[in-house]
Structures are given as C-alpha cells and as structure tokens.
Structure 1
Amino acid sequence: MTDAATDLSLVHPLSIAIDGPSGSGKSSVSKAVARSLGLAYLDTGAMYRAATLWVMGRGIALDDQVAVARAVKDMPLVQVLDPVSPGVELDGIDVADAIRSADVTTNVSKVATNLDVRGELRARQRAIIDQERATGGFSAGRGIVAEGRDITTVVAPDADVRILLTASEEARLARRSLEVNGTANKEAVDSMRDQVVRRDRDDSTVTQFTVAADGVVTLDSSDLDFDQTVAAALRIVAKHAPARPVTP
C-alpha cells in the first residue's frame, strides 16, 4: 500500500473511477485509495440516496417520473469530498445518516432508474470531477477518486485509471450483513439478500456494472480482506496511471 501511496512519479491531477455492485466494498476501498493518494473522494451513490430523500420529503410519488426529475433538478445538494470525513448536505442540512435509512435504501432504485434523474446527476458528477482535475477544488488540483455504478463507462470514461471492483454474491451479502447487522450468520445474510440482489437487478436495467468495459481493470475481492483489496487497487493505480515524464 505504501509503495503506491508514496510514489511521487504519479502525475497529478489524477482521476480514478471505481465501479461495482452492492457489497463489493467500492465505497470503503475508494475512500482508502483517496486518502492514500491525497485525492478528493466522490460517492455518487450518495447522490442518488440524497435525491431519494429529497423527493420523498416533498411527498412526490416516486413513480411520477416527470415530477421526480423536476424535483431532483432543483435539489440543493452539496457533497463534502474529504475522504477522511465525507459528507452530504441538502439545503444546508447534514443528511449523511438520513440517506442510509431503511426507507431510503428500499426506494433508491426507483429514483436511480429514472433516466432523467440519471442525466441530471451524471452532469453534476462530471462537473465535480472536472473541478477536482483543475486547481481550486478540494484536493487543489491533485485529482479525485469517484465511485459508483457507471463512472468507468458513462460519467468518466476518460479517467486515468478505471477499476471494476467485484466479488462473489456470497461475499457481498456477508459484507453488507456485517456492515448493517454486525453479524454474517445465515439469518442476517438472508435479510440482506433482497436489498443487495434486488437493487443490483433493478439498477442493471439502466447501467452496466457487472462486466468490465474495454480498458477497465477488474479487481475481484472475493478472497481478499479489506487491506489486501486496498493494496491491490493501489497496485493497479501505480501500474496504469500516467507516469511523470523523466527529465534528462
């Protein structure tokens, strides 16, 4: 891990895109990679959760696609890009915990599969990535790690490094169960099955995040622990990121 983190030959600004299904570990791994490399961190899944919370809070029926898209377009969303302490604010209110509620988790796919909502949020995501590639952003032009489900293919297909982080369904269910329930026994894992498998199935109708596109490196973490996965991701970055030209 330290080799990539301290490799000063990496060119900045550096953009890294990480996609993957639910429970693959993409959020925690992406934050760790961003911390190691001194980059900003963008959780695009949090944007869809925030949009869901915003729309539900206004009493809008989630199947009214036009009304939902209109509300999301006007959504006053601010994302804190610090990988040490990322945050989400709606209209100046911290909603980092609220967007992880069971109600939001149950309904987020209804908003995330709205194509007009995706268009709006993808544009916002791209603007954030472009800002962090320039001077004056959170990471002062060093770059960004952006993670989600369509970052490698749609939002930032030109990222310097693109990774599809995946894992077996069994491993993903166990990880999500540990995160939510604090245990990975059979009952707890089964309780996560609908949340994880159904959301992946729903979201796969509007974006591809299970098979790596050309130029995207697959990282299968099924048999890796967290530190091993982060180290593997950093090795991929070190291998595929543009190298700083050697001056004579």
Structure 2
Amino acid sequence: MKKVYNIAIDGPAGAGKSTIARSVAERLHFVYVDTGAMYRAMALYFLRNGIPSSDEAAISRAAEEVNVTIAYKNGEQQVLLNGENVSGLIRTGEVSAMASATSVYLPVRKKLVELQKKLAEKENVIMDGRDIGTCVLPDADLKIYLTASSKVRARRRFGQLRNSGTEYTLEDIEKDIIERDNRDMNREVSPLKQAEDAVFVDSSSMTARQVEEQIVELFKQKKERGEK
C-alpha cells in the first residue's frame, strides 16, 4: 500500500501559514487543505443568516445545516459553501472575526475536523490552522509551528487589505491580531499551541521563499530518515 504523507503547519493569525502551505504543496505535489478557509466559510454562513457569535445554541444548530468542501478547478482551490464557491468572500475582517469567535464551539470543529481527517487518510496533504499538529493530524510526518511578531504580522495583513476598500489602520490590525491570539490560545477546545514534536519557525526576518525552502528541506530529511 502506498505511503501517504501529511504535513501540519500551525501558528497564529497573519503568520503566513496559508501562503507557505500553498507553495510547499505545489513544490511537493501535495493537496493543500486550507482549514482556515473552511472555518471562514462556515462563519460566512452564520453572518449571512444573522446569527450572533455569542449564541452558541444557534451556532450549533446551524453547523448541522452547513456543508463545506474543498475542490480544485484548473489547479486553483475553491471553497464551497453548500455548493457555492465563496473563495472570494471569506477574507474580510468581519468573516475573520466571526471565524475566530465560532471556531471554539465543539459542533463547528467536530464537523470540519472529520472532513479534514478523511482527506488526510487518502491523499498526501499539507494543512494549516491552529490545531492541526495537536488535534487534526497528531501523527503528521512533519509538524511546523510558524509564527512572527505581532507587528510583522500586522504589516503583512495591512498590505493584503490595502486595496480591499477597508479603512483599517495598522494599529487597528495589530490590536485585532493580539486579541485573536489571546482567544485562540486560551479557548477551551483545541487551543493554539506548539505541538511537542513541532519545529518552531519564526518568519519575522525571513522571506516567504526562505520559509518555504526550510520546510521542504525538513520534509525531505524526515522522509529520507523514515521518521514519523
């Protein structure tokens, strides 16, 4: 039976996890599973239906009605919310805040983690998120904890939002990032933390290419040694 390889990348908001995971997946010919996008898609559903993030009961009921899947068309990832491609609608500050607030609820996480695990059983995958190495893929062949200072992460996010029509200041974005870090690290269900066997990578003074090269080399070394 062919060996299936999994790579897990965890870290706080704005650390560049998605960008790095995509490029590494392309280099290694892996399937990239953007778990954050899946949570954002579910958050978009809650926003569209006027469900407040504080209403745990309503969030739990709504989670049962949501179908979130990942598909690829012409080599591009599509995030499908009940069959609708919402890839271009889930990167706003409002959706990000809702995703962070509602991902703490067990029914939300349970549904999406089940799908993520099934994907990893069949394909060579690289996933990024908050609890991939600690919860979703605890037996991943390589685990990375990718981070950067809050100031660096804020500058990166500011650059992404600059042409989106939003009016967030750099200070607003850094404040939001720090608040999200606190929520993610202190939530009761699957808090953000570095797995014991994860490699710590601080990208504050690194380019995306340098981070990519480091992760690819780490994986090659693991594969050659046959380590888990």
Deviation at 1:181, TM superposition (A): 1.8
Residue in 1 that maps onto 2:221 = 239
Separation in structure 2 between the aligned mates of residue 110 and residue 24 of structure 1, nearest angstrom: 19
Secondary structure, in 3 states, of the residue corresponding to 2:186?
A: coil
| Correspondence 1:67 to 2:58 | yes
The percentage of aligned residue pairs carrying the same residue is 32
| Correspondence 1:230 to 2:201 | no
Structure 2: runs of 5 or more not aligned: none
The total of aligned residue pairs comes to: 219
Residue in 2 that maps onto 1:44 = 35
Deviation at 1:44, TM superposition (A): 0.6
Deviation at 1:131, TM superposition (A): 2.9
Secondary structure, in 3 states, of the residue corresponding to 1:86?
A: strand
Structure of higher CA gyration radius: 1
TM-score by length of 1: 0.81
Deviation at 1:213, TM superposition (A): 2.1
Separation in structure 1 between the aligned mates of residue 191 and residue 97 of structure 2, nearest angstrom: 21
Structure 1: runs of 5 or more not aligned: 1-10, 133-142
Q: Structure 2: which amino acid aligns with 1:203?
A: D
Q: Tell whether the 8 Å contact from 1:41 to 1:146 is kept in structure 2 after alignment.
A: yes
Separation in structure 1 between the aligned mates of residue 136 and residue 54 of structure 2, nearest angstrom: 25
Deviation at 1:169, TM superposition (A): 1.7
Q: Structure 1: which amino acid aligns with 2:192?
A: F
| Correspondence 1:219 to 2:201 | yes
Q: Tell whether the 8 Å contact from 2:51 to 2:59 is kept in structure 1 after alignment.
A: yes
Q: Tell whether the 8 Å contact from 1:40 to 1:83 is kept in structure 2 after alignment.
A: no
Q: Go from structure 1 to structure 2 and tell me whether the alpha carbon gap of 1:64 and 1:208 turns closer, same or farther (over 3 Å shift).
A: closer
Q: Structure 2: which amino acid aligns with 1:58?
A: N
| Correspondence 1:121 to 2:130 | no
Aligned counterparts, 1:72-111, within 5 A: 72-80=63-71, 84-111=75-102
Q: Structure 1: which amino acid aligns with 2:216?
A: L
| CA shift digits 1:19-42 (9 cap, x unpaired) | 011111110000000000000000
Deviation at 1:149, TM superposition (A): 0.5
Q: Go from structure 1 to structure 2 and tell me whether the alpha carbon gap of 1:85 and 1:181 turns closer, same or farther (over 3 Å shift).
A: same
Deviating 4+ runs (over 4 angstroms): 81-84
| Correspondence 1:56 to 2:47 | yes
RMSD, matched Cα: 2.1
Secondary structure, in 3 states, of the residue corresponding to 1:154?
A: helix
| Correspondence 1:191 to 2:172 | yes
Q: Structure 2: which amino acid aligns with 1:102?
A: G
Separation in structure 1 between the aligned mates of residue 155 and residue 95 of structure 2, nearest angstrom: 21
Residue in 2 that maps onto 1:209 = 192
Aligned counterparts, 1:122-137, within 5 A: 122-132=113-123
Separation in structure 1 between the aligned mates of residue 132 and residue 14 of structure 2, nearest angstrom: 17
Q: Tell whether the 8 Å contact from 2:117 to 2:137 is kept in structure 1 after alignment.
A: yes
TM-score by length of 2: 0.87
Deviation at 1:103, TM superposition (A): 2.3
| CA shift digits 1:102-138 (9 cap, x unpaired) | 3212322221121231222222221222232xxxxxx
Secondary structure, in 3 states, of the residue corresponding to 1:163?
A: strand
Separation in structure 1 between the aligned mates of residue 112 and residue 12 of structure 2, nearest angstrom: 19
Deviation at 1:168, TM superposition (A): 1.6
Secondary structure, in 3 states, of the residue corresponding to 1:100?
A: coil
